[in-house]
């Protein structure tokens, strides 16, 4: 109404300034949904149009956008599509996985507006950093000192073998110890266990005429379990993947011998009817 005017004594109002198709956004955004209501979304997941408007109106291409509670990664995905740099942080492992998957799937997404210049393109390379990894590196230096690389590695392996109730054995680069009838391989403190490492350890197990291999790791290359179990069967080796828990670096828990190595668990949903996941 503030743009309509009536001169004193006039019988009709007229536009003070002509009406326009575009108006300034006010603080009440009733034209877009705050939450994403598509199937499979999380209850508090923000909608892409909402983040699109926030990022577009408050930053320029190339700017750095951060969401320190990134959840399923809406902010990161929209920032990427709008050609912004971004940082996403979350303490939830599943939030991180969901965000990563979402970013890798960007090429399938559709444009919301013309400003989304990167829509239809792949996300640029990004790095996944893990606070646990830094904590473990810090622990390794603290626990085993700043000795030469070889001594520090030897002491690290001996420590993990002892926690696992295994004995060290020499003579193989890919096998570090033995527990009962099983051989044991231990992954590095600061890197995921790779498919290649497990493949080599399986080969050494076979060459040593042993039938069981336990691989202990802090982190794992994506898709390792599915890729490696078939190979283990072919080699005639029973393969167990065990996760080294963060308790291992807690002097109290490790001192009490109270550290449980966790089994790798794969869950596959079984649908009873045609219900959607």
Instruction: Report if residue 213 touches ligand SAM, rule: CB under 6 A.
Output: no
Among 55, 95, 163, 175, binds ligand SAM (CB under 6 A): 95
Contact 156, 144 (CB under 8 A): yes
The torsion defined by the Cα of 242, 243, 248 and 254, in degrees rounded to 10, comes to -40
Taking the C-alpha atoms of residue 211 and residue 239, their distance in angstroms, rounded to an integer, is 9
Q: Read off the DSSP letter of residue 47.
A: P
Binding segment toward ligand SAM, per CB under 6 A, in 83-91, 102-110, 202-210, 261-269 = 83-91
Among 48, 53, 55, 75, binds ligand SAM (CB under 6 A): 75
Instruction: Report if residue 48 touches ligand SAM, rule: CB under 6 A.
Output: no
Taking the C-alpha atoms of residue 57 and residue 52, their distance in angstroms, rounded to an integer, is 8
**Residues near 161 by beta carbon (within 8 Å), at least 6 away in sequence:** 167, 168, 176, 177, 184, 186
Beta strands in the chain (DSSP E): 4-5, 14-15, 64-67, 85-88, 167-168, 177-179, 182-186, 212-217, 238-243, 262-263
Instruction: Report if residue 44 touches ligand SAM, rule: CB under 6 A.
Output: yes
Instruction: Report if residue 89 touches ligand SAM, rule: CB under 6 A.
Output: yes
Q: Which is nearer to ligand SAM, 71 or 187 (CB)?
A: 71
Taking the C-alpha atoms of residue 254 and residue 106, their distance in angstroms, rounded to an integer, is 43
Q: Which is nearer to ligand SAM, 41 or 203 (CB)?
A: 41
> Angle at the Cα of 258 (from 255 to 262), degrees rounded to 5?
130
Q: Considering only CA atoms, which of 106, 71, 67, 60 is closest in space to residue 88?
A: 67
Among 48, 67, 80, 219, binds ligand SAM (CB under 6 A): 67
For residue 215, the surrounding DSSP H or E stretch is strand 212-217
Instruction: Report if residue 221 touches ligand SAM, rule: CB under 6 A.
Output: no
3-state secondary structure of 5: strand
Taking the C-alpha atoms of residue 174 and residue 132, their distance in angstroms, rounded to an integer, is 24
Q: Which is nearer to ligand SAM, 74 or 205 (CB)?
A: 74
Instruction: Report if residue 70 touches ligand SAM, rule: CB under 6 A.
Output: yes
Instruction: Report if residue 103 touches ligand SAM, rule: CB under 6 A.
Output: no
> Which residue number is nearest to ligand SAM in terms of Cβ?
71
Among 17, 91, 146, 173, binds ligand SAM (CB under 6 A): 91
Q: Which is nearer to ligand SAM, 78 or 216 (CB)?
A: 78
Q: Which is nearer to ligand SAM, 123 or 228 (CB)?
A: 123
Instruction: Report if residue 80 touches ligand SAM, rule: CB under 6 A.
Output: no
Q: Which is nearer to ligand SAM, 88 or 116 (CB)?
A: 88
Q: Which residues bind ligand SAM (CB under 6 A)?
A: 44-46, 67, 69-72, 74-75, 89-92, 95
């Amino acid at each position: 109404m503030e743009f309509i005017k009536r001169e004193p004594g006039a019988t009709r109002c007229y536009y003070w300034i002509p009406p326009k198709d575009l108006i300034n956004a006010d603080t009440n955004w009733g034209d877009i949904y705050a939450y994403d209501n598509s199937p499979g979304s999380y209850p508090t997941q923000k909608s892409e149009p909402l983040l699109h408007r926030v990022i577009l109106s408050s930053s320029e291409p190339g700017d750095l956008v951060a969401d320190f509670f990134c959840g399923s990664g809406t902010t990161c995905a929209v920032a990427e599509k709008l050609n912004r740099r971004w940082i996403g942080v979350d303490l939830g492992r599943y939030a991180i996985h969901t965000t990563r998957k979402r970013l890798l799937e960007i090429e399938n997404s559709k444009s919301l507006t013309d400003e989304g210049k990167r829509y239809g393109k792949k996300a640029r390379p990004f790095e996944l950093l893990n606070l646990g990894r830094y904590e473990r590196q810090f622990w390794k230096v603290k626990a085993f000192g700043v000795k030469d690389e070889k001594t520090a590695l030897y002491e690290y392996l001996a420590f993990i073998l002892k926690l696992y109730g295994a004995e060290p054995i020499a003579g193989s680069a890919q096998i570090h110890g033995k527990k009962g009838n099983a051989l044991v391989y231990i992954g590095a403190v600061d890197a995921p266990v790779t498919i290649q490492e497990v493949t080599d350890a399986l080969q050494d197990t076979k060459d040593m005429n042993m039938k069981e291999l336990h691989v202990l790791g802090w982190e794992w290359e994506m898709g390792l379990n599915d890729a490696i179990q078939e190979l283990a069967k072919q080699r005639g080796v029973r393969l167990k993947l065990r996760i080294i828990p963060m308790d291992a670096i807690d002097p109290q828990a490790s001192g009490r011998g109270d550290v449980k190595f966790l089994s790798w668990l794969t869950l596959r949903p079984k649908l009873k009817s045609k219900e959607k996941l």
